[in-house]
Structure 1
């Protein structure tokens, strides 16, 4: 396969065709029943940990795309319990497809022959074809990064420095949130808008009410969904453990450790002080 794919511009033949992006973004999400039918959360947990572990030397955008493929695949396919080698095969196949799409680097099966993983090219190819079929060959995933340019125009900055600072912070938040299952229920565009608002809350708090009102009036934005997604994104932003997930992935040959720290931080962060802070900020957003 020969591709050249950019997460910020997923359309192959045109740029800035945002109406088309908004119209088709749900085609690149997990199925609506995913959160309800994902009875064994440990399956997603283990495969996600493996993706982060095996892709720590690659571009983080490639890891992000691989996780998108994983969630969309798991939302239509069940994986038998008690066969951890299948988890590894799915993780590596998602990474392989993401790298091929983005043409970021060359790799071989031997790159993944560590920590007990023994694969052959035929097994990898078969799993890739299974994933491609489940995704209906929609590999140019429309994702939150695809909408950053659209929503950042609502902020009407006069200088490039402020614009870039806001984009960089929002990008960091999107990366932090990409392994949180709560965010999977929201459209990519809503995640992008929420990330930008959370970034603005930190960098330009005085101007936040203007930014919030501007985005809320956008014809493509469901204000209620923005409300709840902003809440979830603020919780992600408050958890320190998210910041080191990718670094943790390279520190051990037991990839489940990658998310264990995150899960611990997630549970301990839900104290009264943080909840009160979120309520105040969400109250502002709803006004």
Structure 2
């Protein structure tokens, strides 16, 4: 059935809206006449909203969430985010929905396909919120997905997530503060590009750690910017005490603990120091040649790579009534 422009218009008469007269209309000022919003006030407003929304837009505790199963789900979300080049905010919102759902709703199984289905649904909802182009529900299930879900079951899971979160999908994120905090460190904006980019990497690298749930977005942003700043010799002395002065509402103790946790996680994930490569002697048809052990390792890896790994079979799951059941019953 074709639609005309008139079918998409509201049927109200504009005279009804303005029937009260011009004198009773509210005051109006266009964006052109009004000046740019004050950044300091905007950030202060965000910090105030964080306090008001604590426990609603993110959990206050991680005790009810299993750390290992959550880490696997978050790792998969980050893989898909990189696969499709989604914004970091999309990955952050996905994990935010995931944590808030588990914090307030019990799944029938805390591992296996229920968590995979929840991960797909949360990532799909976040992509619909932030990305201009969203893959199909089947195309989301990439990067070693152990189960393949039918689109109708993912849609039912999305509705359950929306109902549990009370349709609150817009959430304050650490990324909103990064440019503001970077300019506080470097008012000349010489290094702000590096600081913001590095801080985004830090935030993404910490999302698998369940301990970061207890920190507010502004605290995570400040600690991430501190970590990025300390990578530069010029800002190596910037500390949480300096960060507390960036805006009213920032807490030095919370930023310090978050910064220390980031350093701990970074140290744990840091690759080990490469061993020294010592020369080896190879005897070949009457002459002796020195080659590095890296050559032998590369040849071994090339020979092993010629044999393809066995194919991995993914199971198709047809989840049923538990997705729409608030009581969490399963087949």
TM-score by length of 2: 0.61
- 2:62 maps to 1:35: yes
Worse-matched range after superposition: 161-170 or 19-28:
19-28
- 2:79 maps to 1:46: no
Find the partner of 1:224 among 250, 253, 272: 253
Q: Structure 1 stretches (4+) deviating beyond 6 angstroms?
A: 252-255
- 2:228 maps to 1:199: yes
Structure number with larger C-alpha Rg: 2
Cα RMSD between the aligned structures?
Answer: 2.8
The 5-angstrom pairing of residues 63-82 of structure 1 reads 63-81=91-109
- Tell me how far apart the structure 2 counterparts of residues 49 and 168 of structure 1 sit (CA, whole Å): 20
Question: 1:56 deviation in Å?
Answer: 3.8
Q: Is this contact kept in 1: 2:58–2:213, CA < 8 A?
A: yes
Match of 2:18?
none
- RCO comparison, higher one (Cα < 8 Å, 6+): 1
Worse-matched range after superposition: 111-120 or 214-223:
111-120
Find the partner of 2:216 among 187, 196, 216: 187
Q: Is this contact kept in 1: 2:229–2:238, CA < 8 A?
A: no
- 2:183 maps to 1:153: yes
- Tell me how far apart the structure 2 counterparts of residues 227 and 184 of structure 1 sit (CA, whole Å): 15
Match of 1:233?
262
- Tell me how far apart the structure 2 counterparts of residues 36 and 18 of structure 1 sit (CA, whole Å): 30
Q: Is this contact kept in 1: 2:117–2:154, CA < 8 A?
A: yes
The 5-angstrom pairing of residues 247-262 of structure 1 reads none
Match of 1:133?
163
- Tell me how far apart the structure 2 counterparts of residues 68 and 192 of structure 1 sit (CA, whole Å): 15
Worse-matched range after superposition: 190-199 or 148-157:
148-157
Post-superposition CA distance 1:123-181 (Å, at most 9, x none):
111111111122222212211101112222321432x3311111111111111111111
- Secondary structure at 1:136 match in 2: coil
Structure 2: stretches of 5+ with no match in the other structure: 1-36, 272-310, 315-331
C-alpha distance 138-241 of structure 1, shift in aligned 2 (>3 A): farther
C-alpha distance 254-183 of structure 1, shift in aligned 2 (>3 A): farther
Match of 1:107?
135
Question: 1:121 deviation in Å?
Answer: 2.5
Worse-matched range after superposition: 141-150 or 104-113:
104-113
Structure 1: stretches of 5+ with no match in the other structure: 1-13, 243-251, 256-287
Find the partner of 2:122 among 94, 100, 114: 94
TM-score by length of 1: 0.70
Q: Is this contact kept in 2: 1:166–1:196, CA < 8 A?
A: yes
Match of 1:122?
152
Q: Is this contact kept in 1: 2:58–2:99, CA < 8 A?
A: yes
- Secondary structure at 2:202 match in 1: helix
- State how many pairs are aligned: 229
